[in-house]
Amino acid sequence: MLRAGLIGLPSSGKTTLFQLLTSAREAARTQGKAEANVGISRVPDPRLDRFTEMFQPKKRVPATVEFADMAAGRSEAKTLVDVVAYKNADALLHVVRAFRDPAVAHPQGSIDPGRDARVIEDELVLADLGVAERRLERLEKDLKKSASPDLRREQDVLIQCKATLENGKALRTLGLTGDDLRRLRGFQFLSAKPLLVVVNLDEADVAKMADAESGGLGSFVSDAHAASVAVCAKIELEIAQLDPADAQAFMADLGLKESGLDRVIRAAYELLGYMSFFTVGEDECRAWSIPRDTPAVEAAGAIHSDIQRGFIRAEVVAGATLLSRGSLAACRDHGELRLEGKEYLVADGDVINFRHAT
């Protein structure tokens, strides 16, 4: 399950947004030392909607993202971000307050999205700096006992990380790849995780909702190598209380083509580096989540390990082509349903039937 952790200053609307994203008034609480509220969001995908209309299946299964929000009442915490709680997150969503409400005091005394984004970013950087320093101290002792090339390379990478963190920059700005990136995964650095800045707008600024850099966060988003999306939690709360027809009419009156929550969920899914391929038919239409650049044989494993082991060929058609033709038979007649081997890199939106040995 893909997990995104919500972080943010008090009174930013983080918990309200979590409840809206997961449609949960009281989300299930995990057990453990660092308790969190956890909920599941379905990834909105118009392609799956159209496949469902086309095939009228018994079952429709969308892709999902798990969101985690730290439980309230952790007054013993000395920092704004609970390091232990968010280490297992695949990405972080930082909810930044841009709404004005005299009845909801801001912990910093004023509304300043750029400042608030930097405050939390500094927390991530400082937490990671402590981890890097402790590991470097240990490595120095270990290298006196063994001149391991792997340990030496790990030391080189961590020295680079430490210098970046000391300059107040997140590790995601380093752009590490390959073996160097894999060396860091065990440390679960918070500032190395993909970051989505969610700007919680004022109701009066709803016209700016399509502007991902609203709230004066453009320079921060760029410098932090982050993504961003804007939403108005107050309006989303009103939309959530309406039936679908009234909700559509309400959004149309506001000039909104889709819910801000849909954009947040989709942006989180993309931030995690995932895409969807589809299996379709009368029994089920389903979106399957896989990392980008996944070969066909590994995509088969997302469905079942037996299909991956017995992989023979992948019968593939682009989703847009299927939607245009109206049926798999029409795609086959036009030579657009093709056979691909194990190494074929699955494209976002592909519709696939895996041929496999039983």
pLDDT band, very low/low/confident/very high, at 75 (cuts 50, 70, 90): very low
The domains of the chain are located at: 3-44+61-107+193-271, 120-192, 293-356
Q: 120-192 and 293-356: same fold? A: no
Q: Per-residue pLDDT for 71 more than 60?
A: no
Structure-token pair, residue 219: 């320079």
- 286-296 pLDDT, tens digit per residue, is 999 999 999 99
Residue 74's pLDDT is 45
CA angle 189, 194, 195 (to 5 degrees): 105
**CA distance linking residue 152 with residue 183, whole number of Å:** 12
Sign of CA dihedral 63, 81, 193, 304: negative
Sign of CA dihedral 317, 318, 320, 324: negative
- What mean pLDDT comes out for the span 155-162? 94
CATH class of the 120-192 domain in this structure: mainly alpha
Please state which architecture CATH assigns to domain 293-356: Roll (3.10)
What's the DSSP call for residue 196?
Answer: E
Q: Fold for domain 3-44+61-107+193-271?
A: Rossmann fold (3.40.50)
pLDDT band, very low/low/confident/very high, at 210 (cuts 50, 70, 90): low
pLDDT band, very low/low/confident/very high, at 25 (cuts 50, 70, 90): very low
Q: Per-residue pLDDT for 147 more than 70?
A: yes
Which distant-in-sequence residues (6+ apart) come within 8 Å of 267 by Cβ?
196, 227, 229
Q: Report the predicted TM-score, pTM, of the whole model to 2 decimal places.
A: 0.85
pLDDT band, very low/low/confident/very high, at 310 (cuts 50, 70, 90): very high
Judge contact between 337 and 309, C-beta under 8 A: no
Side-chain half-sphere exposure of 125, counting CA atoms within 13 A? 20
Across 201-210, b (16+ Cβ under 10 Å) vs e yields bbeebbebbe
Instruction: Cite the DSSP H helix spans in 79-190.
Output: 83-86, 113-145, 149-166, 178-185
**First-to-last C-alpha distance (Å) of the chain:** 27
Q: Per-residue pLDDT for 31 more than 90?
A: no
